[in-house]
A and B are shown apart, each in its own frame.
Chain A
C-alpha cells in the first residue's frame, strides 16, 4: 500500500508451534493521523495481531510468516530490549478494562511519573509537572489534587482517561486501543471516543482500534478491516464498507445489529453456526460453512482477493464472480 504508512502489516501469520494458524495472512496499513479499526468476533485473531505488534505474544504463539513494519523498522525479529525502546515511547496502548489496568496500590501520579521517567530523562519534579499537564489534557478536573489519588477513588471513565494519559505520556506516533470503550457506560463511551479523536488530531496520531462494536467503528475509524477466523474477509474505507458491504460475512454482521426498527415479534438476525476451530491446513473460505450464499468451490478453494472498489479488498468467490454486493 502507501509507502508513507506508519504501520504496515504484510501477510502476517501467527500460530502455534505445530503450524496451526490463528492469524492467517493478514495485510493492512495505517497512515499517520488515521484510524484503522480491526473488527471481528471473539477468536477472530484481532487482539492476537495487536499483541504481536506490541511484541507481547503469549508464550505458545509465534510468528509463522510475514512481517510488520513500524516507522520503517521490521518488528518481527526485534529483540525484547529493542522493543522496550518502542513500547510506551513510540507505541502507546490502552486496554479494555480500566478497572484492572492501573496498579491498585500506587497513586495515579506516581504511575504516570513511572512511565515518563522510564523513557524520558526527566527530573522527579519535571515528571510530576508533566503528569499534571497530562491529566489536564485528558480533561480530568483538578489534576493537581487527582494526582495523589489511588485508582479506586476514581470512576471507570476517569480511569480510562488516566490510561489514555499514560499511553500518550511519551508522545507516541501510534496508539493501540484494544476495545477501549467496551467496559464503559454508553454515555462515558462517547466522551472517551471524543477524547481519543481530539488527541489524535492534536498529535497526528495513528490509531489502531480493536473492537467488535460497529457503532464505534462508524464513529471514529477511517478504514476498517473485517476479520473472521484469523483471516481478513474485507477491508476498505469505513463509509463504503459499512454502507455497501461486499462480503457476506460483513453483510451478516451489519444485519445482526439492532436497528430500532424491529417489530416486537421479530427476531434479531443472526449468523447461523459457530466459528470453526483453527486447523493446520486451510481449505477454502473459513466462513463457507456459515455463509448463506456459499458456492460449491467456497469449501474447497481459497477465495481470491478482489477489489470491489478502488480502495477496497474482499476475499470472496461470490464477489469475484461479480455478484451484486
Chain B
C-alpha cells in the first residue's frame, strides 16, 4: 500500500495548489494594507483620475477624488476576508447546532427546526440580507449577521443529512450502548466524521459571503466607515466612462478571490472524498 496521505493528495491537486496560492496572496495583501498605507484608503493621494501606470507612486491610479486605488484594494481585502470568514463562522456554528440536533434526535426537534429552516430558505436570500442590513443599519457586524442568517440553512441541511447517515452507524449504537451521553456522542464521536463535507462547503460559503458583501456594498449598504471591494466598484460606477479601471480592478480582485475559494473547495473535495480517488 502506498502512503497516500492527505497532505500528499492535497499537494498533488493542481486546483488546490492554485486556490491556496491565490488565497495566500489575498491574505498577504490584507496584512500589508495598514503597513504600506497607514493613513488609510480614504485620504487624497494624488491628482484625481490618474490612470494606472501614469504615476510610479500610484501604480493602480486614483479615483475621481484622488484616492489611491491600491490602498483601497489592500484595505478592502481586509474587510472582504474578515466579513467572509466571520459570516461563515457564525453560519457554521448555527448550522452545525441545528443540523446535529435535527439529524441525531429526529422527531419533533427535527420537525420544528427544519420548518424554521424551510421558512428562512423560502425568502430570496439577497433580498433578506438587504432588508436586515437596512433595518439594523449597515455596519460590519450587521452585514456579518445578515450573511450568516441567509447561509446557515445550507449548513444545517448538510450536517443533518450526515448525522442521519451516521446515526445508523454501528459505532454510534456502540457508543450509546456504552452509556455515553448524547452530547458526547454528537460532538466527540460523530462530528469528526462529518467534517469533510463541512470543510468543502465552508470554502464555497466564504466565497459567496464575499460576493454578497460586495453586492451590498455596491448598492451602498456597506459599512460606511470601512472600504470594501464592493464599495470601490459602486463608487467607480458613476465614472465608468471616464475610467473603466475604477470598476475593473476591484472587480478582478473579487473574481480572483471567489475563484481561489472555489478552487480550494474543489481541491479539498477531491482530496477528502477518497471514494472518488483512484
Tell which of A9-17, A112-120, A273-281 binds the partner: A112-120
Which residues on B sit within 8 Å (CB–CB) of A42?
Answer: none
> Chain A residues near B188 (CB, 8 Å)?
114
A270 to chain B, nearest CB (A): 31
A56's contact among B170, B176, B189, by CB below 8 Å, is which?
A: B176
Q: Is B169 an interface residue (CB 8 A)?
A: yes
Can you list 28 pairs linking A and B with CB atoms under 8 Å apart? A56-B177, A83-B179, A84-B180, A87-B176, A87-B177, A88-B177, A88-B178, A88-B179, A92-B178, A93-B177, A93-B178, A95-B170, A100-B170, A100-B171, A103-B171, A103-B189, A103-B192, A104-B193, A105-B192, A114-B175, A114-B180, A114-B188, A114-B189, A118-B179, A118-B180, A118-B184, A119-B179, A166-B174
- Contact code string A88-106 (vs B, CB < 8 Å = 1, else 0): 1100110101001111111
Evaluate contact between B177 and A106: CB separation under 8 angstroms. Answer: no
Complex: A106 Cα to B188 Cα, angstroms: 9
When each residue 152-183 of chain B gets 1 if its CB lies under 8 Å from chain A and 0 otherwise, what string results?
00000000000000000111011111111100
Q: Does A219 contact B (CB under 8 A)?
A: no
Instruction: Tell me the B residues contacting A by CB distance below 8 Å.
Output: 169-171, 173-181, 184, 188-189, 192-193, 195
In the complex, what's the smallest C-beta–C-beta distance from A108 to chain B, in angstroms?
11
**A119 cross-chain contacts in B, Cβ below 8 A:** 179
On chain A, the residues within 8 Å of B195 by CB distance are 105
Residues of B within 8 A of A88 (CB): 177-180
Closest A residue to B169 using CB positions: A100
Contacts of B189 in A (CB 8 A): 103, 106, 114
Return B59 CB to nearest CB of chain A, in Å: 48
CB pair A89 B179 closer than 8 Å? yes
Question: Is A208 among interface residues, defined by CB-CB distance under 8 A?
Answer: no
9 further A-B pairs in the complex, CB-CB below 8 A; given A84-B179, A84-B181, A92-B178: A56-B177, A97-B170, A100-B169, A100-B171, A103-B171, A104-B193, A106-B189, A114-B188, A166-B178
A163 touches B179 (CB 8 A): no
A95 touches B174 (CB 8 A): yes
Distance between A100 CB and nearest chain B CB, rounded to angstroms = 4
Cβ contact within 8 Å between A86 and B193: no
B residues less than 8 Å from A104 (CB atoms) = 171, 193
Nearest CB in chain B to that of A118: its residue: B180
Name the one of A56, A93, A106, A114 contacting B192, with C-beta atoms under 8 angstroms.
Answer: A106
User: With an 8 A cutoff between CB atoms, is A201 at the interface?
Assistant: no
- Cβ of A173 within 8 Å of any chain B Cβ, yes or no, is no
B181 cross-chain contacts in A, Cβ below 8 A? 84, 118
In the complex, A277 Cα to B193 Cα: how many Å? Answer: 38
A148 / chain B contacts, CB cutoff of 8 Å: none
Interface centre among B174, B189, B195 (most CB of A within 10 A): B174
A85 within 8 A of B: yes
Residues of A within 8 A of B169 (CB): 100
Closest to A167 in B: B178
Q: Among A83, A92, A101, A167, which residue has its beta carbon within 8 angstroms of that of B171?
A: A101
User: Bound complex: CA of A224 vs CA of B170, how far in Å?
Assistant: 27
- Chain A, residues 198-232, CB within 8 Å of chain B (1/0): the string is 00000000000000000000000000000000000
A87 and B173 contact, Cβ closer than 8 Å, known pairs A104-B193, A106-B192, A114-B188: no
Closest CB in chain A relative to B194 CB, distance in Å? 10
Contact B179 A86 (CB under 8 A): yes
| Interface 0/1 of A47-59, CB less than 8 Å to B | 0000000101000
| Chain B residues in 8 Å Cβ range of A114 | 175, 180, 184, 188-189
In the bound complex, residues from chain A placing their C-beta under 8 Å from that of B177 are 54, 56, 87-88, 93
* Bound complex: CA A93 to CA B193 (Å): 23
Q: Contact check, A102 vs B171: say whether CB atoms are below 8 A apart.
A: yes
In the complex, what distance in Å separates the CA atom of A60 from the CA atom of B170?
Answer: 19
Interfacial residues of chain A within 164-215, with CB under 8 A of chain B in the complex? 166-167
Per the bound structure, the CA–CA distance linking A115 and B170 in Å amounts to 16
B46 to A: closest C-beta gap in Å: 56
B179 touches A87 (CB 8 A): yes
Q: Which of A87, A97, A100 contacts B178 (CB 8 A)?
A: A87
Of the candidates B179, B184, B193, which one forms a contact with A103 in the assembled complex, judged by CB atoms under 8 Å apart?
B193
Given the complex of chains A and B, what is the CA–CA distance between A97 and B173 in angstroms? 12
Q: Quote the shortest CB–CB distance from B198 to chain A (angstroms).
A: 13
Q: How far is the CA of A85 from the CA of B179 in the complex (A)?
A: 7
| Closest beta carbon of chain B to A94's beta carbon, Å | 9
Q: What residue of chain A has the Cβ atom nearest to residue B191's Cβ?
A: A105
What's the Cα separation between A102 and B178 when bound, in Å? 12
Closest to A87 in B: B179
From residue B163, how far is it (CB to closest CB) to chain A in Å? 14
Q: How far is the CA of A104 from the CA of B170 in the complex (A)?
A: 11
In the assembled complex, the CB of B262 is this many whole angstroms from the nearest CB of chain A, namely: 26
- The CA-CA distance from A168 to B174 in the complex, in Å, is 13
